[in-house]
Structure formats: structure tokens, C-alpha cells
Amino acid sequence: MFDISTDVEQKVCEVGCVKFGGLPGEYPTVVCNSIFQKGDNIFGGKRKGGFDEKLATDLLKAQDRLWEETGIPGMADIVANTGDEFKTFIDFVTSVTTMPFCIDAWVMKPKLAGAAYCAEKGLLDRMFYNSLTVWEKDLETEIKEIADIGVKHVLLVAFDETDQTANGRVTGTQRLFDAIDKVGAKFESIFVDSSVMNGPATALCSVANKMIKEKWGVPTSSAPSNGSYMWNEAKEKWGFKGWAAADAAVEALSACNYHDMIFSGPMAGAPRIMPAIAMANAFQATAIFNNTGRLPKDPNHPLLKLFPDFVENLKSSVK
């Protein structure tokens, strides 16, 4: 239950001060929350009018506090439309917090500019590139460009439009690895996002992630928020609280099932999501201990951090 069956070494990635990957339950699930995305409340009016620095600071510091309280590491998904936006947003985030972050844009040009700026500022250790995708038309050029910049940590977004099952996500991952091999690029860390289309489809991501970990040993992830935030019917039927419960549920279920990282939507949702994932990780690690006798490696894992007396009882129950 919740474990994997393979002789393939399970790799642990380290971005900034955060480790993730390995066998299920060894490290907490990392939460990567977005900031500066379209519609973010920190933009009081039009995006070009600038952002509310106090509100943005409060969001980042709240996530840092939740990290400390729950044991769930937080990262910032910095979303920008241009290279100049990335410079502004990266400078701001790194002035407020030491958390790792990714650069996230729909098209290649601003992503490359953001990566180059991180190289210039000496930030490549704590930044990952979000992302290399199967739908990029000039994928090999993008891979070569980020390798030349010196990018160390890369997220692959895998999907196959002709096969939307878990198998399709595995074949999409293979295509991306093949492209990297063809270019001859080398990265310190590679991890995979298996592409959420809706809430229930997150189950396919979990199945695919297990298959990906068993085949390549790399950390895996998805964005369950893509499904929950598109489920407008839930808000219409049950209001914000009902929708928020469903959102936290799909994030927590994912954390239990082969997700080393979760992209959980706007950072404003961190107070709802991070405690839910902390409980899910504690649940998962307890089940794994029951089956294998293995406790988490990370001393700040939610099971060890939040339930130390229970952990001592578990240890004493082993004959």
C-alpha cells in the first residue's frame, strides 16, 4: 500500500534547501504554490499597474510559516509573461524569502529570459525550470538553450493527446527523455509532472507516477489544482467551503499516492492545502511503516514533527 515495487534506484532531488523524491514516505510532499498568476489578488487592477507588495509579502511569509509549522516544504511558482516581469518578480520573491522557486510561463522566450536572469543572479541552485513539455514545437532548441544557460533542475510535463490514460503519460515522459538524450543535455535534477485534466483524472496521474518512478526512479508530481479550480459547478452547488473541501481532498489524495511534489494553485490557498497534505503524508507514512517498518528519513516529516508520541508508540510496537 502506497509503496513501489522496483529495483530501480529512487532518486532524491535537492532544489535549494528542499529534498524530495526517493521511496514514498521518506520525504514530505513539496507544495509549489503560484504567485503573480493571471487573476492573482495581488494585482489590484491591471497587471501593468504593478502589484501589492505588502499582500505578496504576506502570502510568501504565510507559506514559510506553514512550512515551519507543518513540515511540508513550500516553493513559489513564479508566473510571468515577459522576461522583464520575471526580473521584477524574481527580485521581489528572493528579497522576501529563501524558499526555492520555479519560473513558469506559457511560451519559451520569457522562460529562457527568466532562466538566464537566475544564472546572472546566482540563483540556479534554488530555481527549477517549469517546464519542458511534449507540445513545445522547438523542444530540442529549448533543451539546448537551458543547458547552455546552466539550468540545474528541470520539470518535464508529460502527456499524450492520443492516449489520455496513465500509459499515455508514461509514453509522453519517454519522448521528453529521448529529446534530452538526443541533445546530449545533462541536468542535476529531472522530475515529472503527469498533467491533470480534471479532478478524477488526477487518479491517472497517480497511477502514471507510480509507473514512472518504477521505470526511471525520478520524483513525480502533478497539479491537482488544475482539476479543482476548473470545477466551477462545485462552487455553484456548495459554495466556497464545499469547493474548498473538495480541493483539499484531491490534493491530499494525491499526496498519499506517488506525488513527491504538488502544484496546488494560488498561494492564497496554502493555509488550506498545507495542513491537509501534512495529514495525508502522516497517514501515508504510517501505512508504509505498518507494511515495511520504515519511518521517514526527513526528521521534519509531518509524521515525526506533528505526532512524535504516536511515532514512539509505533517504534515500541515492533518486536
Assess whether pLDDT exceeds 90 at residue 161.
Answer: no
Reported as half-sphere exposure (CB side, CA atoms, 13 A), residue 18 has a value of: 30
Give CA separation, 160 vs 140, 154, 166, 190, 219, in Å: 18, 19, 9, 19, 20
Assess whether pLDDT exceeds 80 at residue 319.
Answer: no
Instruction: Determine the pLDDT at residue 5.
Output: 87
225: helix, strand or coil: helix
Asked if 2 contacts 25 with a C-beta cutoff of 8 angstroms, the reply is yes
Q: Tell me: the pLDDT tens digits for 40-74?
A: 999 987 888 899 999 999 999 999 999 999 999 99
Asked if 270 contacts 252 with a C-beta cutoff of 8 angstroms, the reply is no
Instruction: Determine the pLDDT at residue 97.
Output: 98
Assess whether pLDDT exceeds 90 at residue 317.
Answer: no
Q: Which of 63, 68, 73, 72 is nearest to 15 (CA)?
A: 73
Provide the mean pLDDT of the chain. 96
Handedness of CA 232, 45, 101, 26 (dihedral sign): negative
DSSP code for 229: T
At 2, the pLDDT band (50, 70, 90 cuts) reads confident
**Full-prediction pTM beyond 0.85?**
yes
Asked if 294 contacts 311 with a C-beta cutoff of 8 angstroms, the reply is no
Q: Residue ranges per domain, the chain?
A: 12-317
- Distance between CA 282 and CA 295 in Å, rounded? 10
Averaged pLDDT for residues 27-33: 98
- Distance between CA 210 and CA 8 in Å, rounded? 12
User: Considering the domain 12-317, what is its CATH architecture?
Assistant: Alpha-Beta Barrel (3.20)
